[in-house]
Chain A
Amino acid sequence: MKLREEQLWFAGAVMTGAAHEEADHRLTAGPKLGPRERLDVYRHAYVARLIECLADDYPVLKVALGDDAFDALCRAYVARFPSEAPSLNAYGRRMSEVCTGFEADLARLEWAIVEVIHEPSRTPMTLESLAAVPEEAWAGAHLVASPALRLLTLEYPANDYFQAVRDGHAPAIPAPGASATVVYRSGLTVWRMGLTPPMHRVLAALVGGEPLESALALAEGEPPEQVTAWFREWVSSGLFVGVEAG
């Protein structure tokens, strides 16, 4: 099938530069450009489009690396992970795999933002619905987390860096330091919330579906009123969409 053979050659030439010279006999010259130059319009567009997509998904990683290093990273990504989907919505999902150290954590954070954008919204649970749980069922009840929520444990303070860039600063690349962040969507807005270690323990347990009583007990030495305040904030922020009896 001539058409198949033609497409295999053209796609290879565009995506990898393979058999580029065959343009001389497969394609015609234009009024002002030769066959190879005409083919190069597609070669450049292919890479440029995918880099643009990655830049949309990773704007702060681009700041952290600088334009040239980010461009080189994206070119390596495009070469390693050609798109296999009709939509570009999930194209950048593997960026953290080609990054190391702080950049890998920043990529995880930025991809979490993309993920929660594409997860469905559910009507948030209210504190009133929680109050409706019978007292005897309280200890064993567990919460249902919003699908538009990602809980990240990172080796660097990536969220602090992200926020500083968003605030218009030019922060230095941070030293290693464990951090936890919850990324979630409420309505049309994506939020990021930094978590202290005890907050993270409790929230991770709640998101994981552990019974309320045992999850809240993970706060250990924190004042009860403090734990209550966290809990009220998480619920009112829309992190949970339901409560189920144990």
Chain B
Amino acid sequence: MANRFGLPDLGVGLGLRSVHYTHIVEAQPEVDWFEILSENYMQTAGRPLEWLDAIAARYPVVMHGVSLSIGSTDPLDRAYLTELRALRDRTKARWVSDHLCWTGVSGKNTHDLLPMPYTEEALRHVAERVRAVQDFLGAPLALENPSTYVEFASEPRAPVMREWEFLARLAEEADCALLLDVNNVFVSAFNHGFDPRDYLAALPFDRVVQMHVAGHTHHGTHIIDSHIGPVVDDVWRLLGDAWQRAGGTSVLLEWDAEIPSFEVTHAEALRAKAFAPASLREPGPDDPLAGSRGTFVGPRGVKP
């Protein structure tokens, strides 16, 4: 176990999506683990839970949320947390994660992962709430770095730090775990013009319990974290870099739009195994991208 929390390396998993329910339950494919979107199984007593029960009985699952809103200045939603904990207990989820973001304020939910201003005030605020959530769950919470499309301007009385500094300090102060989304690092690096390797270099990898990869949509002027399509070579390489730092860590592919067959999606996830550290890797080619037509292009559009 590479992380300080003793959370297991589950292998290479896949985000559970409803279009694959029937195949998974009927064919029972060999899959290391599934990550579920927590809110899809909340505020329901019906069919989503029936599918989930069948799948959680057969596979390890991890819960990944989008509405904890850990950065919001609204009070923590106790009803939400209670339902989240009940779902964790029902599925025997290995851990629970959400995002370093806020989703709404004044009781409204945008259902988007809104960006935090990375200030000292925000750091204190989020750290306190993470500790409260961890106390409630009785377990470490894993926070994911989001893809972001804006950065807040520094002010003399409220200077803004870089996301990686904020995340590293938050993890330390709240004693929480991290879910490193490698694609999000790449997306934000392009959108804000930083080097993704600087981001990785600053993270406390002993707190990283899971990593995400995904496809994205490049609009030329910016990249959207769309979770569409295969993972680009640059993100695979970044995963390799992160995995080397993290050691044995659970890795997962997210594919959320224009979702292909289960076999295609799972095959894409399994490509990750070629980027595991040599000590964890199964025998294979030295360069997993050999013959690929992809070219590594840095976040500023220049070859590094």
Chain B interface category by residue count: 35 or more
The reply on B58 being an interface residue by CB < 8 A is no
Given the interface pairs A11-B110, A121-B50, the reply to whether A31 lies near B192 with Cβ below 8 Å is yes
Q: Give the CA-CA distance A89 to B47 in the complex, in Å.
A: 12
Q: How far is the CB of B137 from chain A (nearest CB, A)?
A: 15
Given the interface pairs A27-B152, A31-B193, the reply to whether A83 lies near B109 with Cβ below 8 Å is yes
A90 contact set on B, CB distance < 8 A: 43
Asked if B111 and A185 make an inter-chain contact with CB atoms under 8 angstroms apart, the answer reads: no
The reply on B119 being an interface residue by CB < 8 A is yes
Residue of A nearest to B111 (CB): A49
Q: Give the CA-CA distance A46 to B151 in the complex, in Å.
A: 18
Q: Give the CA-CA distance A185 to B117 in the complex, in Å.
A: 46
The reply on A26 being an interface residue by CB < 8 A is yes
Q: Give the CA-CA distance A185 to B106 in the complex, in Å.
A: 36
Q: How far is the CB of A27 from chain B (nearest CB, A)?
A: 5
Instruction: Encode contact with B along A1-33: 1 for CB under 8 Å, 0 otherwise.
Output: 111101110110011000000010111101111
Q: Give the CA-CA distance A1 to B119 in the complex, in Å.
A: 12
Contact of A42 among B45, B46, B150, B190 (CB under 8 A): B150
The reply on B296 being an interface residue by CB < 8 A is no
Contact of B222 among A1, A23, A30, A118 (CB under 8 A): A30
Residue of B nearest to A36 (CB): B150
Residue of B nearest to A52 (CB): B257
B115 contact set on A, CB distance < 8 A: 10
A121 contact set on B, CB distance < 8 A: 46-47, 50
Which residues of B from 142 to 157 have beta carbons under 8 Å from A?
149-153, 157
Given the interface pairs A3-B73, A8-B105, A26-B152, the reply to whether A118 lies near B45 with Cβ below 8 Å is yes
Residue of B nearest to A41 (CB): B149
A167 contact set on B, CB distance < 8 A: none
The reply on B135 being an interface residue by CB < 8 A is no
Asked if A120 and B152 make an inter-chain contact with CB atoms under 8 angstroms apart, the answer reads: no
Contact of B221 among A2, A32, A86, A88 (CB under 8 A): A32
Contact of A86 among B43, B73, B106, B158 (CB under 8 A): B43
Which residues of B from 8 to 27 have beta carbons under 8 Å from A?
none
Asked if A27 and B151 make an inter-chain contact with CB atoms under 8 angstroms apart, the answer reads: yes
Asked if B149 and A38 make an inter-chain contact with CB atoms under 8 angstroms apart, the answer reads: yes
Q: Give the CA-CA distance A86 to B68 in the complex, in Å.
A: 8
Which residues of B from 242 to 273 have beta carbons under 8 Å from A?
none
Given the interface pairs A83-B108, A84-B108, A118-B44, the reply to whether A3 lies near B117 with Cβ below 8 Å is yes
Asked if B43 and A26 make an inter-chain contact with CB atoms under 8 angstroms apart, the answer reads: no
Asked if A85 and B109 make an inter-chain contact with CB atoms under 8 angstroms apart, the answer reads: yes
Q: How far is the CB of B84 from chain A (nearest CB, A)?
A: 9
Asked if B108 and A82 make an inter-chain contact with CB atoms under 8 angstroms apart, the answer reads: yes
The reply on A35 being an interface residue by CB < 8 A is yes
The secondary structure that dominates the B interface is loop
Instruction: Encode contact with A along B201-244: 1 for CB under 8 Å, 0 otherwise.
Output: 00000000000000000001110100000000000000000000
The reply on B60 being an interface residue by CB < 8 A is no
- Which one of A3, A10, A41, A88 has the greatest number of beta carbons of chain B within 10 Å? A3
Contact of A120 among B46, B149, B150 (CB under 8 A): B46
The reply on B48 being an interface residue by CB < 8 A is yes
Which residues of B from 268 to 304 have beta carbons under 8 Å from A?
300
A87 contact set on B, CB distance < 8 A: 39-40, 42-44, 67
Asked if A7 and B73 make an inter-chain contact with CB atoms under 8 angstroms apart, the answer reads: yes
The reply on A220 being an interface residue by CB < 8 A is no
Asked if B222 and A2 make an inter-chain contact with CB atoms under 8 angstroms apart, the answer reads: no
Given the interface pairs A28-B153, A41-B149, the reply to whether A88 lies near B39 with Cβ below 8 Å is yes
Contact of B44 among A8, A37, A49, A89 (CB under 8 A): A89
Asked if B114 and A86 make an inter-chain contact with CB atoms under 8 angstroms apart, the answer reads: no
Asked if B105 and A117 make an inter-chain contact with CB atoms under 8 angstroms apart, the answer reads: no
Q: How far is the CB of A45 from chain B (nearest CB, A)?
A: 6
Asked if A38 and B150 make an inter-chain contact with CB atoms under 8 angstroms apart, the answer reads: yes
Given the interface pairs A4-B73, A7-B72, the reply to whether A41 lies near B105 with Cβ below 8 Å is no
The reply on B191 being an interface residue by CB < 8 A is yes
Q: Give the CA-CA distance A53 to B220 in the complex, in Å.
A: 27
8 nearest interchain CB pairs? A86-B67, A41-B149, A31-B193, A32-B221, A87-B43, A120-B45, A4-B73, A118-B44
Given contacts A6-B152, A31-B192, A33-B221, 14 further A-B contacts (CB under 8 A): A27-B153, A30-B149, A30-B192, A31-B193, A37-B221, A38-B150, A45-B224, A84-B109, A86-B39, A86-B77, A87-B67, A89-B40, A89-B44, A185-B47
20 A–B pairs (Cβ distance < 8 Å), ordered by A: A3-B73, A7-B72, A7-B105, A11-B106, A14-B112, A27-B151, A28-B152, A42-B114, A45-B112, A46-B111, A83-B109, A86-B67, A87-B39, A87-B43, A87-B67, A117-B47, A121-B46, A121-B47, A121-B50, A188-B50
Chain B residues packing against A (C-beta within 8 Å): 39-40, 42-48, 50-51, 67, 72-73, 77, 80, 102, 104-112, 114-115, 117, 119, 121-122, 125, 149-153, 157-158, 190-193, 220-222, 224, 300
